[in-house]
Amino acid sequence: MNRLDLPAWLQSNDTIRLPAVTHSWKPHNYLEKTLKKIHAILSEDNRSVLNNQDGLLQKLEPHMKVTGLLTVILLAALTQNLVFLIMLNSIILFAALQSRIRLGDYFVRIWLPIFFFTGIAVLPGIINWVTPGDPLYTIYSNLTFSGHFFTLPAELTITRQGVKSALFVILRSAASLGIAMLLIKTTRWSVLTKVLAKYGLSNIIVTILDMTYRYIYLFLFIFMDYVLGRKSRLVGLETQSSKIAWIGGTISDFLRITLEYSQDIQYALESRGYTGIYYAEAKGPLHLIDFGFAAAIIILGCYAYGGINHVWIFSL
């Protein structure tokens, strides 16, 4: 093959006038920042498992831990005991701190989403229009307003029954989310999936769960490189709309790349004799702390269904 000379424009320095910069209030690099944040959260979870082996929950035998925590989620979902839910959330906070989970992480991961999602969702439920009942606080009364399509109720109050229901939803959600976070932040994902396999979850589902976590990392890295690759060649400026258009196009390209990778992964699995059977490790030895944990779960269960029902919170 005869080599061609470099094009003439490439043999000289560019004297092109680059596009003028205009400043905008619109957020920049949000995609990159989001990817970095996801990466930081995944890495932090991984680190907290690996670096805090002496934490309270990290010391527990995984089967015992998973069984115990799933039981507690069930207790939280079924109980009618508000005191139990308050106590359970306090215990979860204590267990998180004893498992070297930072207080800030706990609030950001649990109470922030609970406040913004569950809290806002249950807010209408506390008023008498949605949950009728004994008034706790009257916002207005004896008001008459009637329009063509809408008649305003004469009274708007916050009801005891509404507040109680809202508290149940919030505390149940916080407890479930808290336990899920404790489980993830104190147990290696590979161990968690092995426990699930041991408990009879289908091999194919466990394999997918196991690989998903690993490949979320891989694809995250690929996607971050993808963004860097583009950034390195983004010589000029781009509008917000072209950035959004790129993200849309990129998602489809990226899905195609993941599909190709998944095909390769399938081939790699098959070439190494994968038959769909998942190997799950035998149980680890049980220690005194595991029996203590089991006893604590039993006590919690008893309390949830037979505990004190006549304390001040029920007078709401």
The residues of the shown chain that bind other proteins, judged by CB under 8 A, are 1, 3-7, 9-14, 16-19, 21, 23, 28, 39-40, 43, 47, 222, 225-226, 228-238, 246, 249-250, 253, 256-257, 260
- Min separation Cβ 75 and other proteins, Å: 36
Pairing status of strand 156-159 against strand 151-152: unpaired
Q: Which is nearer to other proteins, 13 or 271 (CB)?
A: 13
Q: Which is nearer to other proteins, 134 or 260 (CB)?
A: 260
- Min separation Cβ 127 and other proteins, Å: 45
Instruction: Tell me the β-bridge partners of 159.
Output: 135
Contact 72, 179 (CB under 8 A): yes
Q: Which is nearer to other proteins, 108 or 228 (CB)?
A: 228
- Min separation Cβ 97 and other proteins, Å: 23
**How far is it, in rounded angstroms, from Cα 88 to Cα 94?**
10
User: What is residue 127's DSSP assignment?
Assistant: B
Q: Which is nearer to other proteins, 10 or 288 (CB)?
A: 10
Place of tokens 């408990």: 199
- Min separation Cβ 244 and other proteins, Å: 15
DSSP secondary structure, 191-224, as one string: HHHHHHHHTT--HHHHHHHHHHHHHHHHHHHHHH
**How far is it, in rounded angstroms, from Cα 117 to Cα 121?**
6
- Min separation Cβ 260 and other proteins, Å: 8
Q: Which is nearer to other proteins, 17 or 310 (CB)?
A: 17
**How far is it, in rounded angstroms, from Cα 92 to Cα 209?**
26
Q: Which is nearer to other proteins, 3 or 310 (CB)?
A: 3
> Could you count the other beta carbons within 10 Å of the beta carbon of residue 166?
20
Closest by alpha carbon to 42, among 184, 179, 222, 183? 184
Q: Which is nearer to other proteins, 176 or 250 (CB)?
A: 250
- Min separation Cβ 140 and other proteins, Å: 50
Residue 282, class by beta-carbon neighbours within 10 Å (0-12 exposed, 13-18 middle, 19+ buried)? exposed
- Min separation Cβ 255 and other proteins, Å: 12
